[in-house]
Structure formats: structure tokens, C-alpha cells
Structure 1
């Protein structure tokens, strides 16, 4: 849902400006909805998808970054390995009270999940963790589409980059190819060409 809030809404406005006869209804949810049952033309999802009943089109990607503020690092030091995170204040996202939070890293070319114990704050809205990190309260792991501009401006600083996992795919999904309307086909084509490589939220890496 955060991806839609940060970037997709703007892309949709540009689409409507270019195609004024198109009408879009945007529903924001982190639940994986059945497109046909809900009468939806398409959806956006971040991460790997296993549902073979839908067409999955990758339109971009996002890094997954551990990011404290420079002030937090100055006061607490820089973590050197994922194992050392237990010494730091780490804030995590949660779906419900029985959800086990974890962060993902690449350890010797193997995707590895580390359980992160957070006695301070868990949230089902990642934006609150971003604000806490910017204010110097913690480390958190967030997708770069949320924090790329914060890193570029110096509000946040990436750490543990050598353990960073494979980037997350950003996917456009739809039910089938055969019966797609002209308007939906036009929108799919538009989104395929909307993002550059690398996407603009990751361009700080090359500056």
C-alpha cells in the first residue's frame, strides 16, 4: 500500500492527464485480492508472487535497506553484521500481535531471515517507522522507494549494504491477456514505460 501512496498516485495523475477519457478507481490495501471476484482490472504488488492464476508483469524494483539517521549512528555506532543488530533499537512492521517480525539479508549468497525483537514499537504502517528513523530513534529496514530521497538528502544513511538482499520486484498483475479492454491495455503499456532503470528512488547510488 505504501508504494501506491508514495509513487503510484502521481503516475495515475499523469495517465489521466494524457488520457482524459479514462476513469480510474484506486483501492488501497495490503491484502491480496482476487481480481475477478472483486471486479478489478489490475493490481500492483511488491515482492515475489506465487499465484499462477494471474499474469505478472515486472515494471520496476526496489532495494530493501537498513536505514538509521546519521545522528543515531553517531551516538550508537555502525552495525557491522546482521547478528550485531540485537545491540540496537530496531523497529519492525507487524500485521498482528502474533506476527513474527524479521528482516531479510543476503548471507553468503543465501536469502536469510533474521528475527528482530522490538520491545519499543511495532507498526502495521511502515511510514511511522520511517519517521521514527529520521528522528534518530532507531534502525529500520524499508524499501528504497520509501527512503531513497531521505538517503539522498542525508536524513537517513544506509548500513549493512554488503548484506542487502536481492531487490524486490514491483509487479503489475492482471487476470488474463485475451479479454483485456483497450483502456486497460493502454494503461499496462503506459506503466511498462513509466519507470527508468534504475528507478529514480535509487539514483542516489550512482551520484
Structure 2
């Protein structure tokens, strides 16, 4: 585990308020896209407001973060979530491989994780990503380049880039196996 990362995030979360359950930014106003239930994964969950919200929507949630302080805050907010301590620099934890009906990653960018996030989706599963972007802002090591949130094996439902942010909501076709190409679009 990257001790410096853990210590930095522990310090940041120690001074923060508890927070309230809330949908991921990209799903606000689009909650109708959420599957009816099942399993969910919240990657780099922080204090767990999204994980808690998903649990309140009826999902069995695994929430992963590098900060034990953040995970403890999340556990106080929603004890039904399985809180997993892991350094995402080494990939998703082996016991969080899926399949998941929803995978959320909000405000954490590591393009090396993108294939694992997509592979963790169940058929019909929903991927919800929000990262910092250089589109409409300055370039930097923690910012996505234009077009970075492209997942050719998933069906894009919403994609936005601008004002320093990039979001993607995508789905694995209901009849597709993980890693298979998306179904062709329906005729108009």
C-alpha cells in the first residue's frame, strides 16, 4: 500500500464532515438508468456517500478505498456496505472482480483500471465514471485527455466533457458476456 497516499487521504478525511448518502454526480437527474438492484462496486469510495446511497437503493455494495479513516466514516454512515481497504494502484482487489450490476468510480482517475472496471460489469450492468478532465481546463497528471473515457465494448448512454470534468455512463449489453463487443444500435 502506498503509505504516503494513505496518510494524505486519512488526513483529508479526518477533517471532513460525515456527509449524507447521495447518487454519483453523473447519475443526478438520470437515476432512471440505475438497474433495479443487484450488486454494486464503488471504487475509491472515500467516505462512502455514494456507496451508502446505492445500499439505500437496494444494492449489495462493495466499497473500496485506500483510507481506513474514510472507510470508518463510511461504515458509520451505512453498515450494510462491505468496506474494503485496498491500494488501487495495484488494481481492483481480487474479491471485487464482479460481476456487478453497477460500477461507480467518481473523482479517481487511473486509466490502468479502466479494463478491470468494464470487465467487472455483469450483462446489463451500468458503469458510471466521473473524472477531472483537461477539456475546458489545464492539462495535468490527474486529468483525463479528450476522449479518454471510451469503452468500445460497452454501449455509451451519456458522455460529457467540459469545464474540467469528464463523465461517462455506459452499459454492457444485456445479452453480452464481459469483454464482448456491444450490440449494434437499434434501427431508428
- What's the TM-score, normalizing by structure 1? 0.31
Higher relative contact order (CA 8 A, sep 6+): 1
Instruction: Report the structure, 1 or 2, having the larger helix content.
Output: 1
Which has the higher Rg, Structure 1 or Structure 2?
1
Instruction: Report the structure, 1 or 2, having the larger strand content.
Output: 2
- What's the TM-score, normalizing by structure 2? 0.33
